[in-house]
Structure 1
């Protein structure tokens, strides 16, 4: 990894690949959390990613400081004296998110493949499950490497899809924004500025739900300087890509794009590029689904592998680590695949907002308070992060 790219870049790309799932690639999340609200939503993607970036950084620092790289032991350090109650609640929330989001990834990817190639939905989800399983059983290093490759492909595709449309339709984007601001074009709910902030905060907190999938990678560069670089680069990449999607969809806000199930597909079908971009966005959605599944499943695989080896000696744990990882990944992938067969996409999509505010209260706020030094415990003695 160090021979090609710095480890902190790999961690940044893990964040991006987990964020860029089927829901984001379709444009549906940008519409639901931002464009469906008043014109001040223009500033909110950066605000959401700032929340996520700070939470990301402080979470990594806590993991490195206490050498806790699975989310169970890590959550005990976050909640301190409240851990007996709060740590189990966090685990329930994280695993619920894992199953729901990965199931959505299977379902979205399966549906996209069915439309693009006419292959059976169930077969498509089996193929996606197999790919995710293979990528999650070979350890954190492969996950970071695959995340880097996938992220670079996705970033390139997003630039190819949205930049030409933004340039070509730039006057129209300016006009549409002015029309939204004046009220000439009504975009979903036209509530207060505080409501727009609330939805942006929920989006940032929703992404924080997946923090358990990131902390395992902090051991690749456990010094604060590297972790800070990972957070800054991750913030920049995610924010830029969110704005490309935001402005690309805004160009068609006067044509009913906000009501489309897959807004990004509407953009490429009615904008610059035509048929070949339709194939490209379909590919993005499928790759995004896989990347999200890999990041989330591996985060829990690490936790389960540690759980299975909890009563073993260090030598026994090391010897059986591979078996524990394989069995853990298999269990998780099968569970998510089964949920995907229930066709819960609308239900899961509506639940994202609720997961967001629950995560904001139970996870994001405590981590920010810990990171900013506003909530301390006896064990928080002055000291350095490992290898600082």
Structure 2
């Protein structure tokens, strides 16, 4: 796999597979953060992913410079003299996101499998937990390989689902966009440019919460040129797929799709699709849920493994790495699985927007300020890199 897929491309695929969770596959996130807002939201996926791309690039530079590949050690380098306060806040933020998103992954994947095959919801979530567990205990290389395979499958599925509908309904897309711009089709409220920009920033910042899941892979290609390639490729993959989903849903805004729980399923049922496409989107939702869970759980697993071996010699730490990985992954997955079974998903799911603006203050702004050299410490690692 390493010979066929360069490391920078594998990192770009980790970004995509983490981003493409059950909420994205269902189309619900595109509606909530973009289509429910001002007509200028058509430009905002590119803005959100630019925020994410810059934050990820600067974060990976810090990881590579200091060779800090778990998010706890990394955050201390990011916050410098303020790390006593800021690093724990970031760690809380990341772990809240881990539990929230992975629990949603269990719930979304479990419910989708139940609808498709009629199997037990609890059994489905156990199976999903098992898959995530197996993929996370075999290390970063396995996570990158699985992310590459998953990303290729998901990209192919999105192309199959949305491109035929975009081509067939392109005149309708133009018509609906004009109607939204003229106010003939109402979206959300408040319907202003500032609201559109605010939600774009919140979405980009929300995705930045998962930076702890990405920096662990920097050791696969720590040179600056490779990190730039990973960021650029990741930006175009994520932005492109977001626009396919956006345009596909836009074709049906005059038919009440914005109120649908699973807009992507509505597209298939009312556009170009059929039974086999319904199964395909179900597969996308399940795979997306698993891929997001794998990336986030592994990011925290690596942190716990380093914590378990903090008082060991390098040799002892390496010898114990596998058992520590198993313990950490099992603990994290069990915690997320319990949350999913408690029925808290409808409640905590509402916290996505709030996590976005909290992340904007705690993580995204500090990373961008460091990256552009506007917030410096004596050992600043990003000023020169940002200028190059």
TM-score by length of 1: 0.98
Q: Check conservation: 1:137, 1:326, Cα contact below 8 A.
A: yes
Question: Does residue 219 of structure 2 align to residue 211 of structure 1?
Answer: no
Deviation of the 1:138 alpha carbon? 0.2
Q: Which residue of 2 aligns with 1:340?
A: 340
Structure 1 segment 270-289 matched on structure 2, within 5 A? 270-289=270-289
List, as ranges, runs of 4+ consecutive aligned residues in structure 1 with deviation greater than 6 Å: 381-385
The C-alpha deviation readout for 1:44-85, integer Å capped at 9, x for no partner, is: 000000000000100000000011000000000000000000
Q: Distance in 2 between matches of 1:298 and 1:27?
A: 25
Aligned to 2:62: 62
- 5+ residue gaps, structure 2, are none
Q: Secondary structure at the match of 1:323?
A: helix
In structure 1, the residue corresponding to 2:37 is in which secondary structure?
Answer: coil
Pairs aligned (count): 386
TM-score, normalisation: structure 2: 0.98
- Residues 12-23 of structure 1: matches in 2 within 5 Å? 12-23=12-23
Query: Deviation of residue 275 (structure 1)?
Result: 1.4
Q: Which residue number corresponds to residue 135 of structure 1?
A: 135
- 1:102-113 map, 5 Å: 102-113=102-113
Once residues 381 and 179 of structure 2 are traced to their aligned partners in structure 1, the CA distance between those partners, rounded to angstroms, is 55
Distance in 2, matches of 1:15 and 1:344, equals: 27
Distance 2:188 2:350 in 1: 15
Contact 2:62–2:382 (CA under 8 A) maintained in structure 1: no
Q: Which string of whole-angstrom CA distances, capped at 9 and with x for unpartnered residues, describes residues 343-364 of structure 1?
A: 2222222110000000001000
For residue 342 of structure 1, report the CA deviation from its aligned partner: 1.6
The Cα of 1:381 is off from its aligned counterpart by 6.5
Q: After superposition, what is the alpha-carbon deviation per residue over 1:115-165, rounded to whole angstroms, capped at 9, x for unaligned? A: 000001000000000000000000000000000000000000000000000
**Conserved in 2, the CA contact under 8 Å of 1:65 and 1:384?**
no
Cα distance change, pair 184–103 in 1 and its aligned pair in 2 (3 A): same
Aligned-partner Cα distance in 2 for 1:356–1:259: 22
* Structure 1 residue aligned with 2:24: 24
Give secondary structure in 1 for the equivalent of 2:210: helix
Shift of 1:190: 4.1
- The 2-side partners of 1:151 and 1:222 are apart by 22
Partners of 1:186 and 1:374 lie apart in 2 by 41
Give the secondary structure class of the aligned counterpart of 1:189. Answer: coil
Secondary structure of 1:214's counterpart equals: helix
| Cα distance in structure 1, aligned partners of 2:200 and 2:119 | 37
CA distance in 1, matches of 2:334, 2:294: 13
Distance 1:257 1:335, change over 3 A: same
Indicate yes or no: 2:311 matched with 1:292. Answer: no
- Structure-to-structure mapping, 1:46-57, within 5 angstroms: 46-57=46-57
**Deviation per residue, 1:192-222 (Å, 9 max, x gap):** 2111000000000000000000000001000
Conserved? CA contact 1:16–1:151, under 8 Å: yes
Partner of 1:95: 95
Query: Cα distance 1:326–1:382, how it changes in 2: closer, same or farther (>3 A)?
Result: closer
Aligned match of 2:370: 370
1:188 CA displacement = 1.7
Alignment of 1:40-189 (within 5 A): 40-189=40-189
Question: What CA distance in whole angstroms lies between the structure 1 residues aligned with 2:94 and 2:21?
Answer: 17
Q: Within 5 A, what are the aligned runs for 1:262-273?
A: 262-273=262-273
Q: Report the equivalent of 1:249.
A: 249
- For structure 1, the residue ranges without an aligned partner over 5 or more in a row are none
**Secondary structure of 1:24 counterpart:** helix
Secondary structure at 2:191 match in 1: coil
Does the CA-based 8 Å contact 2:373-2:382 persist in structure 1? Answer: no
